[in-house]
């Protein structure tokens, strides 16, 4: 039977859209970690999520023989286009069985919606923006997915490329061992000690009791650190605060620190507990009372972390402080009995971070890709 693609709306449509992921991923026995459904709904909530104050989205589901086989969201990010002078549309939340026809029709539906809004290129996946979960995994399929990073089966890449999409940008993930249990290389230690001696930098933990004040400071640093990077759009305060409140439950204040040189802030690092280790035991993604207990108890035990945000002020970006930050995080992780952590995402062309990581002996163990194609009517990508 032919594939049918429909646009879904309203609360019922959103619930159906969210459910598709469990249909697609359910029987694979893969590395996919079921997210919390409430978090997926929040990322798509046009009324409650501040991102949609300057953005719109449409949701599409593909069905074959009445059974869902895939989904895609088309996203117009108006703030991105004003900031960059672009006419780019986005797609995200892509899920599909190994069904080339269904994938092609989903992309056609999303691209048609984007074209109808005057957009001439489609880029993705972004869920829903570059300030959120984004990228399609193209390397590192056997590695465990960490908190707020996507995992997909390898054939997703084939479906996207067959639909005419090519690489726009790669995002990298690096494994950082905790000192001692998996020893940090000597060269990392030497670089860190040299940076510490030259910099006179001291660290203070993130103060969760003053979360809003801390978030305002981190947002300013984040915008400085990422300004000018490919695809970056500075989030509004409302959008950043919305995300910060979500992160509150998983951030590790002992590992998340602000660095100062005397009284001047020079950078920050935020590390989240990898709650995927707990979510693996909640396959439904639903927060039933017993699952809430699992989540609360599981997040108290720190095993693995992810560096979710890292940045330096503009004037301190070239001071060679990055090895010091990595070493400090590894040292603290070891003291807490951690296995290690992941630094992601790092833009493939961000030499300020990739060069020091390579000098420290680290290679990317995961790679995600942002794809793009021309969707102008009558134009082949």
CATH number at residue 60: 3.40.630.30
What is the model's pLDDT at position 187?
Answer: 66
Helix, strand, or coil (residue 131): coil
- The answer as to whether 185 is a domain residue is yes
Question: Where does 219-321 show beta strands of DSSP type E?
Answer: 257-261, 264-273, 304-312
Look up tokens 């797609």; give the residue.
Answer: 91
**According to the model, what pLDDT value does residue 325 have?**
82
User: Residue 260: beta bridge partners?
Assistant: 202, 265
335 & 289 share domain: yes
Number of structural domains (the chain) is 2
Q: Say whether both 148 and 182 belong to one domain.
A: no
Q: How far apart are CA 194 and CA 188, in angstroms?
A: 10
Residue 44 has what pLDDT? Answer: 97
Q: Given the DSSP bridges, would you call strands 304-312 and 340-347 parallel, antiparallel or unpaired?
A: parallel
pLDDT value at position 380?
45
Assess whether 52 and 198 both reside in one domain: no
285-291: long-range contacts at Cβ-Cβ below 8 A with a sequence spacing of 24 or more?
A: 285/22, 285/34, 285/35, 285/36, 285/37, 285/40, 286/36, 286/37, 287/36, 287/37, 287/38
Dist CA 279 CA 34 (whole Å)? 7
In terms of domains, do 133 and 82 share one? yes
Query: Which distant-in-sequence residues (6+ apart) come within 8 Å of 219 by Cβ?
Result: 235, 237, 240
Would you give the DSSP letter of residue 321? -
Residue 267, helix vs strand vs coil: strand
In tens digits, what is the pLDDT along the chain, a chain of 381 residues?
789 999 999 999 999 999 999 988 765 557 888 888 999 999 999 999 999 999 999 999 999 998 999 999 999 999 999 999 999 999 999 999 999 999 999 999 999 999 999 999 999 999 999 999 999 999 999 998 999 999 999 999 999 999 999 999 999 999 987 654 434 566 666 666 666 666 667 888 888 888 898 898 888 888 888 888 899 999 999 999 999 888 887 888 888 888 887 777 888 889 888 888 777 777 777 765 545 555 555 555 657 889 888 888 877 766 667 777 877 887 787 777 777 789 888 999 988 888 888 877 788 999 999 999 999 974 444
Based on the fold, state whether residues 210 and 115 are members of the same structural domain.
no
Q: Verify that 359 and 283 share a domain, yes or no.
A: yes
- 350 close to 124: Cβ distance less than 8 angstroms: no
Rounded to an integer, what distance in angstroms lies between the CA atom of residue 182 and that of residue 226? 30
Of all residues in the chain, what percent are helix, strand and coil, respectively (each to 5)? Answer: 40, 30, 35
381 located within any domain: no
pLDDT score recorded for residue 239 = 95
- Whether 227 is in a domain gets the answer yes
The neighbour count for residue 354, using CB atoms within 10 Å, is 17
Domain that holds residue 159: 3-171+369-374
Do 226 and 336 sit in the same domain of this protein? yes
């Amino acid at each position: 039977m032919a594939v049918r693609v429909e646009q879904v709306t309203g609360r019922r449509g959103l619930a159906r859209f969210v459910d598709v992921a469990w249909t697609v991923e359910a029987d694979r026995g893969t590395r996919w970690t079921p997210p919390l459904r409430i978090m997926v709904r929040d990322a798509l909530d046009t009324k409650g999520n501040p991102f949609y104050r300057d953005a719109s989205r449409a949701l599409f589901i593909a069905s074959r023989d009445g059974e869902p086989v895939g989904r895609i969201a088309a996203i117009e990010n108006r703030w991105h286009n004003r900031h960059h002078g672009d006419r780019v549309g986005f797609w995200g939340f892509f899920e599909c069985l190994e069904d080339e026809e269904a994938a092609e029709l989903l992309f056609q539906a999303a691209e048609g919606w984007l074209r109808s809004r005057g957009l001439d290129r489609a880029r993705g996946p972004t869920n829903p923006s570059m300030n959120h979960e984004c990228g399609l995994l193209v390397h590192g399929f056997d590695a465990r997915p960490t908190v707020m990073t996507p995992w997909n089966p390898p054939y997703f890449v084939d479906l996207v490329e067959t639909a005419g999409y090519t690489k726009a940008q790669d995002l990298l993930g690096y494994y950082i061992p905790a000192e001692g249990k998996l020893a940090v290389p000597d060269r990392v230690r030497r670089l860190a000690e040299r940076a510490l001696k030259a910099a006179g930098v001291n660290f203070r933990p993130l103060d969760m009791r003053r979360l809003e004040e801390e978030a305002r400071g981190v947002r300013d640093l984040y915008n400085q650190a990422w300004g000018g990077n490919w695809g970056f759009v500075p989030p509004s305060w409302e959008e950043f605060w919305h995300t910060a409140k979500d992160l509150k439950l998983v951030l590790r204040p002992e590992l998340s620190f602000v660095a100062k040189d005397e009284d001047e802030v020079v950078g920050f690092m935020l590390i989240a507990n990898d709650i995927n280790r707990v979510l693996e035991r909640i396959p439904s993604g639903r927060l039933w009372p017993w699952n809430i207990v699992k989540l609360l108890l599981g997040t108290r035990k720190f095993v693995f972390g992810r560096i979710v945000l890292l940045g330096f002020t503009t004037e301190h970006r070239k001071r060679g402080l990055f090895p010091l930050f990595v070493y400090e995080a590894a040292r603290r992780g070891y003291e807490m009995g951690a296995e290690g952590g992941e630094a992601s995402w790092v833009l493939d062309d961000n030499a300020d971070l990739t060069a020091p990581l390579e000098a420290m002996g680290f290679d990317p163990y995961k790679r995600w890709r942002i794809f793009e194609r021309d969707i102008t009517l009558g134009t082949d990508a």
